[in-house]
Amino acid sequence: MNMKNNKGFTLIEIIMVILLVGILAAAAVTQFLNFQAEAKDASVQASLSALRAGINNQYAQMQLRCGATGSAFPAMADIAANDITTGGSTCVAGDITNVGERKFITGAVPANAWGGVSTITACVGGGCTARTNPCNNVARVLGWCYDVSTGEIWADSALSGNNEYSF
């Protein structure tokens, strides 16, 4: 009998390679999903930093240029319009003549990465006191929640698994 020189892989070898590639792919997918969640959390943190800095800057402008009292924070209408002179607070256009200085942040209000919404909602009742509650105390709007009495702003979403105020 003449034995031919067989070249190639056996079925067992091919199945083992496919199994090994499948295990490695499963591990990589879970790591990738974790990176997506971490990226969204980082985006929310960055957006909140910009919003909080803007609110603090406008609070200072209200004190220095507009004669507001020490406990007056920007009004909800001003925050939603991204303009301190929209009529919701003590500032008027004559107090802050430079249009760019009237804005809380440059450009539009950023969207919450977990909800994709840039809406800022005034907190109501339990939504102000317990950060685990929805901002309006009814249902999450997946944007931002603002407390006019304290000037605090936070993400109105609990999709990351973090307490939304922990950002």
Number of domains in the chain: 1
| CA distances to 4, 11, 18, 19 from 8, in Å | 13, 10, 16, 18
The reply to whether 7 falls in a domain is no
Neighbours of 104 (CB within 10 A): 24
The reply to whether 152 falls in a domain is yes
> For the chain, percent helix, then strand, then coil, each to nearest 5?
45, 5, 50
d(CA 44, CA 113) in angstroms, rounded, equals: 6
The reply to whether 113 falls in a domain is yes
- pLDDT tens digit at each of 167 positions of the chain: 556 667 788 999 999 999 999 999 888 887 777 788 888 888 888 999 999 999 998 888 888 888 887 778 888 888 888 888 887 778 888 888 898 888 888 888 899 888 888 888 888 777 777 766 778 777 777 888 888 888 888 888 766 555 554 45
Look at strands 144-147 and 152-155 and give their pairing: antiparallel
- What is the pTM (predicted TM-score) of this model? 0.74
Alpha-carbon torsion (88, 92, 98, 101), positive or negative: negative
Structural domain boundaries enclosing 68 = 13-166
The reply to whether 31 falls in a domain is yes
The reply to whether 100 falls in a domain is yes
The reply to whether 44 falls in a domain is yes
| CA distances to 14, 35, 65, 155 from 144, in Å | 52, 23, 27, 5
